[in-house]
Every structure is written in C-alpha cells, then in structure tokens.
Amino acid sequence: MNGGTLLQVGSVDVFYGGFQALRGVSLEVQSGEKVAVVGANGAGKSTLLNTISGLIQPVKGRIEFEGKSITAMDPSQIVALGVSQVPQGRRVFPDLTVLDNLILGSYNRNARFKKEENFEMVYNLFPILKERKKQLAKTLSGGEQQMLALGRGLMSSPKLMLLDEMSLGLAPIIIGKVYRALRKIRKMGITILFIEQSVRRSLEEADRAYIIEAGRVVLSGNVADLREEEEIKKAYFGI
C-alpha cells in the first residue's frame, strides 16, 4: 500500500484576518493511503484542505507534493500536478448538464489527453451519471450531485483526492454507495485525504487519522490505535 510520501505539510500557520485558523499543523500522507482528518466544526479541517489545494495561502510553513514545494502555487498549478479537491456542499454547476460538469474537471494539461479514459472510469463507478449526462445538475438528487462532484474530481486524473464532508446531508444508503465508490477509487491507486462528519465512519474507513482541535493537531496515528485512546472515546464516542 505504502509507496513513499506523497504529501507533506510542515508547521503550517493560517490566518483569517486576526484569527489564527491553523497553528503549526503538520501531517503526511503516503502514496496509496486513505487518511482522515477528524475534529469538531470550526477546528480547521476545511481550512487545511483549502490550504493544501492553494485556495488559501499559509503565512508560515511548507507544503510538498511528491517532494516538490506547492506552498505558493496557484490552485490550477496544483491540480495539474495531480491534486483534486471535492469541496463541502458538492458545489456542482447547477445550470450546466452532468456532462458539462464532468468536462470542466478535465481542463488541466494532463487530464485533457485522458478525457475519454476518465469518462469511462467515472461512468463505471457511477452509472447513473451516464444515464443522466444530458440533465442539468440541479435536477439531480443530493446523492447524485455528490457522485457528480466526485466524478468531476476524478476527471482531472488525480494522484491525491481531498474530500470535504462527502456524506453531509445524505441518506445512510447513499453514504454507503459513496464509500463503496471510494474503496474502488483507492484500488485504482488514487490516494485519499478526507474529512468526514462521522468520527466513527472516519475511524472505520481510514488507515490513519489526524485529530484537530482549535487549529492544532492534537493526536495522530493508526485508526486501530486511535479507537482505543481514552481521549477519543470520551470526546467523540461518549464512553
């Protein structure tokens, strides 16, 4: 599973005006891993993903992808290197068709040459998107829109996917389908760093996890070990 360090975040500080959202955050993701970021609302989880993808610039620290600094890169450059983010709330383009939403994910220089191959991959994972490719995205159900957001992310030929609260607002049966798709995505060799509102689910699905509180990483490790941490049991499981 482990193919060397793919992503490394070192001592990153992020501010929103005078508010410090991330405080010396460090983490790493190995190639082939599925890593969770866990924490309460407002802990800094989404800020961390947005910083990795270049949407937010850190005031301190360093981010490396495949050994290359991406700290000051534009989001488009980071996508072209193989980092794809699926944001919280899906954020599909409602007045575009399913097909056009997917095409928008394929505009980086590497993905353009793999467009047909990526279409086949997305449609195999989510057959409903092929059935509804001519429909406007706003006519899809919430679960279908989440599948579309994931499909659009896959169209960029990612090596690493950053997934923010995928199951938010979805019915349990749909959440199950989404996670089954993620397991298939991982088997394709795509590394996953994800945020999930359900701590139990995070510690079931991931190999390792980072626990963030008030912008700091307070615990990290293999999920089997973290499940046995008394602090985790009390804070998240009520044990």
Give residue-wise pLDDT tens across range 26-80.
Answer: 999 999 999 999 988 899 999 999 999 999 999 999 999 999 999 999 999 999 9
The ranges assigned to domains in the chain are 5-237
* Degrees to nearest 5, angle at CA 175 with 171 and 181: 150
Percent of the chain with pLDDT over 90: 73
pTM of the predicted model, to two decimals?
0.91
In CATH, which of 3.90.45.10, 3.90.550.10, 3.40.720.10, 3.40.50.300 is domain 5-237? Answer: 3.40.50.300
**Is residue 168 helix, strand or coil?**
coil
Cα 201 to chain centroid distance, Å, stands at: 15
Distance CA 158, CA 110 (A): 10
Mean pLDDT of the chain: 91
Distance CA 136, CA 95 (A): 6
Q: Are 118 and 157 in contact (CB under 8 A)?
A: yes
